[in-house]
Amino acid sequence: MNLIDALGESEAEYAVCTTYPFEPLFFSNYAIDSLQDAGVATPVVLMDDHQYEKLARQQQLTSRAIGQHYYLEPVAVEDTFHPKVTFLAGEAACHVSVTSANITLGEYTTAAQLGQTATVAADSEQVTPEQLAVTQDVRSFIDQLSQEYVSGRDPRTEIQRAIQTTEWLEERTPSRTVQGGFFHNLETPILEQVRDRLGDVTTATLFAPFFGSKTTLSEIDATIDADHYEILVSDGNTHLDPDATVDAFGDSVTFRPLDHDTARWIHAKGIVFEGPWGTATLYGSPNITGQALLKTGATGNLEAALLHYEETDSSGPELWSQSSFPAVPGAERDPDKFDFADYAISGPGDSSPTISLVDARVEQVEDDEIIVRLVAPAVDDGTELAIESLSEKRSDIVWTRDADDKEDGITLRLPESWAQAIVCLDVPDEGRSNYRQITTEPTKGTRKVGDVLRDGGRESMQSLVDETLFLGVGIAPGVLTEAVSRLSEKHEQQTDEVKQEQQTEIKDSESAFSTGITSVTSTSRKPHLGVKDGMDYAEKRIESILENPPTVVSVEELIDHFDNLWYYVTRGLIRSSLATQLDQVEDDDITFETNLNVGRLHSLCAKRISKIFRSRYFRRIRIYVNQIHSLHPESTAEVLEDDKLSDVFVIYPAVTLALMEWHNESFVERFEFVRQYHEAMTIANPLLGELLIEGEQVKTRLREHESTLEDQLSALGDRMGRELALPGEFMPGLEILFYGFWYRELARISDQGLFDNEEIFERYEPAELAAMARLAVAGKDRIQSSSSYGALKKGRFDSVVRLTQGRSDPTPQLQTLIDKGQ
């Protein structure tokens, strides 16, 4: 099993992963997508500090993705930080996994691993006592780990948010006592805990890549106290001294090959305990060593494992019948017949750090500088030293502590380019510190980014637009920018087919997910630019989808992004229409308003409306929907919501026509607007065409939009100390739209007697048809009585123009509908 497969369709806001070695390029290019699809904005990866130093010296920590899209935090223990645990936290569910796999390319793709996942949903009781207990215990482990071993404040903050998000787990109580469960050695050695759970052990079967010395194995024997031991050897991959093993366990020990029919090498490790009470299998990160099984994190490795308990069963341990782990013990073999591995364990080397830099973080951003806090308790006040980055930046400083600093640290100003840099301290005559990244504290915006990532930038975008333009949420523009940046990178990566041979990519320098955005902050993006970023992304996705053959899924996504594009431009133009009502408001009363450039917002949205028509989205999207609906009518109808279709093809165009009157400005020439709209919609299939027949439903939907906007204006007015109102109504736009469509449509020879057919009234409610007719007639009256719509009277040879001059007037047909609906 591995993290990517285990995630599946999971949803979460936070993720914490632990590993011994780590490959940044592998995580950035392959694992991060699954986490972002789940909705995680900023995962936290905890890794062994010695392995972190190794990556730093090898220049493998230079990607801006680290710290920007995830935190990579080194963890120091007495020996080795070795657990392989994943904790996905959300308000709706919690997902955990415990495994033998580190987060590296080789261990995910070429090694056979053992592990297990568990999920507990907040609103479901369909969970076993074992799943609940393991999930709760993993959460407690992550919590304790962060408080005792995570020295970086920013990743610790993110982890604590994950813990707080899953507080609902504390209220769940297992229905019965759990025999097995999750084990770690933060306080007590793992083997000691496991042995206390079991009765007498008759046979213990041990397998792992690493076995300890004779002394260690003797201590393991004394702890387990089994009658018989079996050692499973993976030829060429097991480090073990057979003579020392026999001396430790005695003549009763036997050796068997761990046979498997795959090309993978065995990285799994575990112990199978058998006794009169049944069978229990311990598996996870611990090798068969004293550092892993007989010590705590304070005296040896830090490890984590699962114990799976089975009652007495003659069929043998379940482990050997798992299809996901196709390995079984072979026939007994003389130990001299095995090919044992000889792993060379390298020391830390001469460049080992002598000073502990426990935290490096951005405290504040000011223009083109950052205020950075460095925490290094062992550095004396007044010491002259240098801060160096992996990118060869260097700054000479004097270590001067703040008088009230309780962290034994300092603050200093650095250029903004130092944000996310991997740095160390170089102290003359004393050596250097370990490497750490200058991190940026996670904000509430990370969760909003997670919402956007989870739904692919579809449903969640509109709330961010409202927060940006009406609700005064300062973080929203930055969240928009950050979210669409990540989504764009992901789609570009897929389009460019960068996932080629993994071995080839490992050779390249890491640059995945480099956006230049250092954090989500209230000042990182102007509101109108945040909206622009959203519009750009929606348009980009629309064009990308239209380039490919339609499917039911792609049509649904297409409508979502078209809906968002309309939402951006119409909400932006509505917001800019309030400018005259807000002219007299003092800046001191609306501090968040000063960042909103209303003029630029208006210009961006007006130009985007024009582009929607230049790009002929109505016609192109209508063709796309027609194609798939003709092939899969029932499936297409199921996924396309009536309200969203009404918004995209009726409400937003109507609102646009109304907004042109509000602003006294033609974003698109009105005659061209109604001509292109009629061209696009007149041959639409019933899924779309019927939206223009049921007039009462459309009017109801329009009122719902108005009501939502009125609430938003009320909230905006409360913050500004003013009463705000919409500058006009949307209904005139709907009337013009229906006039522009139905007067042209009914003037066609084929449709002149359309509503004389009585079958029409068997299919549609007379009241709905009457509402449609009233809208169209009201539109005609509005054009004839208002000079604002003079442009609609200038198109030569156009049926709309001819109708206003009294030719082929379909008004009697419409009046018939009105009469029947009364």
For the chain, give every domain's residue range: 3-171, 181-337, 359-431, 445-663
Q: Please give the Cα distance from 116 to 121 (Å, whole number).
A: 17
Nearest one of 435, 741, 718 to 585, comparing CA atoms: 718
Q: Please give the Cα distance from 220 to 206 (Å, whole number).
A: 11
Amino acid in position 656: T
**What's CA 409's distance to the chain center, in Å?**
34
* Angle of CA points 314, 320, 323, to nearest 5°: 125
* Both structure tokens of 561: 């992004």
* Angle of CA points 417, 423, 427, to nearest 5°: 125
* Both structure tokens of 174: 């297992």
Helix intervals (H) in 547-632: 552-576, 579-582, 598-614, 617-631
Q: Please give the Cα distance from 805 to 795 (Å, whole number).
A: 12
Q: Please give the Cα distance from 153 to 424 (Å, whole number).
A: 17
Q: Which helix (H) or strand (E) holds 118?
A: strand 115-121
CATH no., domain 3-171:
3.30.870.10
Q: How far apart are the first and last CA of the chain?
A: 67
Which pLDDT does position 685 carry in this prediction? 66
Nearest one of 289, 237, 43, 210 to 142, comparing CA atoms: 43
111-112 and 115-121 strand pairing: unpaired
Q: Please give the Cα distance from 76 to 135 (Å, whole number).
A: 25
- According to DSSP, residue 92 is labeled S
Which pLDDT does position 587 carry in this prediction? 45
Give CA separation, 660 vs 308, 655, 672, 728, in Å. 68, 9, 14, 11
Nearest one of 421, 373, 377 to 397, comparing CA atoms: 373
CATH class (in words) of the domain with range 359-431? mainly beta
DSSP-assigned letters across all residues of 449-496: HHHHHHTTSSTTHHHHHHHHHTS--TTHHHHHHHHHHHHHHHHHHHHT
Q: Please give the Cα distance from 156 to 162 (Å, whole number).
A: 10
* Both structure tokens of 623: 């063709």
Phi-psi region of 76 (alpha: psi -120 to 50; beta: other; left: phi over 0): beta
Given this chain, do its domains 3-171 and 359-431 carry the same CATH topology?
no
* Angle of CA points 23, 25, 31, to nearest 5°: 85
From the CA atom positions of the chain, what is the Rg in Å?
Answer: 33
- In the numeric block, the tokens 């995910």 are attached to 108
pLDDT profile of the chain (822 residues), mean per 10: 54 91 88 78 93 92 75 95 95 92 87 88 88 95 96 93 93 82 96 94 95 96 96 92 94 90 83 93 96 96 94 70 78 92 62 89 84 92 93 91 77 90 92 92 65 74 84 73 77 53 33 30 65 91 93 93 94 88 51 66 93 92 90 86 90 94 88 86 74 90 93 83 86 92 78 73 84 91 76 55 59 86 76
Whether 734 and 775 have beta carbons less than 8 Å apart is answered as: yes
Whether 302 and 77 have beta carbons less than 8 Å apart is answered as: yes
> Burial, 455: exposed, middle or buried (Cβ in 10 Å; 0-12, 13-18, 19+)?
middle
Q: Per residue in 159-183, is it b (16+ CB within 10 Å) or e — as a string?
A: bbbbbebbeebeebeeeeebbbbbb
* Both structure tokens of 54: 């190794």
* Both structure tokens of 179: 């025999």
- According to DSSP, residue 592 is labeled G
Q: Please give the Cα distance from 306 to 183 (Å, whole number).
A: 6
| Half-sphere exposure (Cβ direction) of 584: Cα atoms closer than 13 Å | 5
| Half-sphere exposure (Cβ direction) of 687: Cα atoms closer than 13 Å | 26
Give CA separation, 667 vs 313, 608, 661, 742, 792, in Å. 77, 9, 10, 23, 14
Question: Looking at the whole model, is its pTM more than 0.75?
Answer: no
Q: Please give the Cα distance from 493 to 69 (Å, whole number).
A: 15
Q: Please give the Cα distance from 524 to 255 (Å, whole number).
A: 62
Using DSSP, state whether 144 is helix, strand or coil: helix
* Both structure tokens of 333: 């073999």
Q: Please give the Cα distance from 509 to 28 (Å, whole number).
A: 12
CATH class (in words) of the domain with range 181-337? alpha beta
* Both structure tokens of 286: 């611990």
> Burial, 764: exposed, middle or buried (Cβ in 10 Å; 0-12, 13-18, 19+)?
middle
CB under 8 Å to 337, separation ≥6 — which residues? none
- Residue 759: other Cβ atoms inside 10 A: 7
Give CA separation, 216 vs 211, 222, 233, 297, 301, in Å. 9, 10, 18, 17, 14
**What's CA 207's distance to the chain center, in Å?**
37
Specify which residues 328 forms β-bridges with. 259
- According to DSSP, residue 430 is labeled T
Q: Please give the Cα distance from 373 to 534 (Å, whole number).
A: 34
**What's CA 196's distance to the chain center, in Å?**
41
CB under 8 Å to 696, separation ≥6 — which residues? 765, 767, 768, 771
